[in-house]
Structure 1
Amino acid sequence: MTTAHDYSEGIDPERALKYAVQHHNGDRTEIVEGVITNVTPSWDHERAAKIVRRQIEDRVDELDCVEGSGNLDLPGSSNWYVPDIAVVPEQLALRGGALVPDQTLLVVDVTSESNAETDRVVKRKRYAEYGAPLYLLVDRVEETVTVFAEPGRLGYTKVDGPHPFGTPVRLPEPFGIDLDTSGLRPGAAR
């Protein structure tokens, strides 16, 4: 009598899932709490990210960093995030591959109708747990901007906001700049 071989022996499900997402061709893909999601931002979503990116890029250069939407791995969990913007030291960016949230200086997520609650609750909690020092949430659904700082295992201990679009929002050090959020209002020309 022959028995079927159990191919699951020695396979790490987290590694297998993350490997599949990393080697997926096409659009950006992330894993949120074990659920694979294609990231397909709309043009108005991209516009909001661009407004933030343009305001931070000079300071990012001064800090010898790069900003982009590279992959962030959350080891030991079934999470693989693709933030709208992450600011990382240039030396780490040159290595290639995914980084972990505590290697960032800032993570920015821009909400959409389909992912607003995930960005507000799940990602905020996970970014804090994995040590992302600053999390900027641009909530297009609520039309607010919130800065989360001082991460810990139970979440961020310092919250600045939510501030309605149009309110200047201070990004703390190492940025030390005020973001003009007026251009984030729907219909605002930029």
Structure 2
Amino acid sequence: MSTAADYDNVDPERSLKYAVRHIKGDRAQIIEGIIELASSTWDHEAAAESIRDQIRPRARELGCVTGSGNLDLPGSSNWYVPDIAVVPASQAKGATALLPADTLLIVEVTSESNGDTDRVVKRKRYAEYNAPLYLVVDRQEQSVTLFSEPGTLGYTRVDGPHPFGTVLALPEPFSLDLDTSELG
């Protein structure tokens, strides 16, 4: 029989993140303490696939993998599942979750239901946790914006928003031109 004392040393952040990792049948993330199921429409997936196809060859040259694995933001009630993350293969191997700082690039594709989360909340948190590059593919605004140089108050460099159809230059270590014409 459990007593109240049995629960005195429970870490709420750890418990919440444990629970979200064990939701059966669905991928879930925690946004500012709220569990959200991560599901996408086919046009959302098509936009992500267009980006993934363009960056995958360069990611392989860099010894990286592209995927949508878990990102932990320790010390907060956040556990993200980005649409795309580019991470060194050596760090991805065997990892349950990585930190945003472990990535080279994070891409979020907005949906009607989560656009503000990607534009505002995740942008702030990814900068706070030192994700070097954060690309927002805003399907509602039909634009792309690249955030870089994370600082204590957010990203200090913003390239965009640019309308779909613009060729967006991804900086080092990618050094490639991203064609955004197929994102709409």
Which range, TM-score by smaller chain? over 0.9
Distance 2:178 2:141 in 1: 18
Equivalent runs, 1:67-106 vs 2, <5 Å: 67-106=66-105
Identity %: 65
Please tell me the residue identity of whatever aligns with 1:90: A
| 2:38 counterpart of 1:39 | yes
Q: Which has the larger radius of gyration?
A: 1
Distance 1:88 1:141 in 2: 27
Equivalent runs, 1:42-57 vs 2, <5 Å: 42-57=41-56
Distance 2:170 2:131 in 1: 14
- Give the deviation of 1:6 after TM superposition: 4.0
- Give the deviation of 1:23 after TM superposition: 1.3
- Residue aligning to 2:162: 163
- Residue aligning to 1:17: 16
Which digits, 9 at most, give the CA deviation of each residue in 1:71-110, with x for residues without a partner? 0000000000000000000000113210000000000000
Which digits, 9 at most, give the CA deviation of each residue in 1:8-63, with x for residues without a partner? 30000000000000111111100000000001100000000000000001100000
Distance 2:166 2:4 in 1: 62
**Structural RMSD (CA):** 0.8
* Structure 2 unaligned blocks of 5 or more: none
Distance 2:168 2:4 in 1: 58
Please tell me the residue identity of whatever aligns with 2:83: D
- Give the deviation of 1:64 after TM superposition: 0.2
Distance 1:13 1:157 in 2: 32
| 2:124 counterpart of 1:144 | no
Where 1:95 maps in the other structure, the secondary structure is coil
Distance 2:7 2:161 in 1: 46
- Give the deviation of 1:153 after TM superposition: 1.8
What TM-score does the superposition give when structure 2 sets the normalisation length? 0.97
Distance 1:25 1:170 in 2: 39
- Residue aligning to 1:173: 172
Please tell me the residue identity of whatever aligns with 1:144: S
Distance 1:5 1:156 in 2: 44
Distance 1:183 1:142 in 2: 15
Mean alpha-carbon deviation: is it higher for 128-137 or for 6-15? 6-15
Please tell me the residue identity of whatever aligns with 1:65: C
Distance 2:7 2:177 in 1: 52
